[in-house]
Structure 1
Amino acid sequence: MRTKHGAIHVFTWNEDITLNNTEQFRKAMAKLIEEPADHLILNMEQVKYINSAGLGIIADGVMTARKQQKELVVAGVQGSLQEIFHIVKFSSFIKLFKTEKEAIHYFVENDNI
């Protein structure tokens, strides 16, 4: 599901990321990065599990976005997803937020959107 908040584009992924849907997730992330916005939010509020391929897709997405002078952040990082992201040290190169509202606030405060 995609929503727009002014110059911020939000993509919500509503299921765990497993071998069964990794390719769908990869395509959805590529589409998000192609959006004509510099501020991108991946909302993972409903996700409880993500496999290593999914983690790689997010990391690649962040790097690709940066190359295009965009910023991709992840929202909805709570519970088991927060533990997984902590173990792989995602917060060292990706901004993580507990809610979509916090992520939107981050962009608004830092970029005067």
Structure 2
Amino acid sequence: MTEEFIQFERTGTVGKISARGEVDLSNSPQLRKTILGALRVDEHIIVDLSQVSYIDSSGIAALVEGLQMANKKDKTFSLQSPSEQVMSILELARLDTVFSIE
């Protein structure tokens, strides 16, 4: 796990989390922590998945938990530009209809 795995930037009340590489059991807790931390402060969370080459069930679980928390707090949560590999997993799990995808 390197520092470059996740980047976070804030513009006003929008928090943007950019992940890169593989999201798996070794680093999905970091993604989860970043998402939940951003939801404490920001009104809208965007998770950029354009540079993610692989995501496993633990990574998907972190995204689902973020969406659930955002819904509970009446905040917005969206995925941005999922890579082809990530999009195919989202479609397979039928999560492409659950998440707002930009």
TM-score category of the 2 structures, normalised to the smaller one = 0.7 to 0.9
**d(CA) in 2 for partners of 1:6, 1:24:** 23
Residue 4 of structure 1 is aligned with which of 10, 13, 24?
10
1:32 aligns with 2:38: yes
CA contact (8 A) 2:20 2:53 kept: no
Percent identity over paired residues: 20
- Listed one character per residue, the Cα deviations across residues 44-103 of structure 1 (whole Å, up to 9, x for unaligned) are 111011110111111111011111010110012131111111111112221112xxxxxx
1:15 aligns with 2:21: yes
- 5+ residue gaps, structure 1, are 98-113
- Listed one character per residue, the Cα deviations across residues 21-61 of structure 1 (whole Å, up to 9, x for unaligned) are 122222122112222x2111011111011110111111111
Residue 99 of structure 2 is aligned with which of 94, 98, 102?
94
When normalised by structure 2's length, the TM-score is: 0.84
Question: Partner letter of residue 12 of structure 1?
Answer: S
Provide the aligned length of Structure 1 versus Structure 2.
Answer: 96
Please identify, of 18-27 and 60-69, the stretch whose mean Cα deviation from structure 2 is larger.
Answer: 18-27
Match of 1:43 in 2: 48
Moved over 2 A (4+): 4-7
**d(CA) in 2 for partners of 1:25, 1:60:** 11
Q: Which has the larger radius of gyration?
A: 1
CA RMSD of aligned residues (A): 1.4
- 5+ residue gaps, structure 2, are 1-6
**d(CA) in 2 for partners of 1:75, 1:87:** 18
Structure with the largest fraction of strand: 2
Please identify, of 60-69 and 2-11, the stretch whose mean Cα deviation from structure 2 is larger.
Answer: 2-11
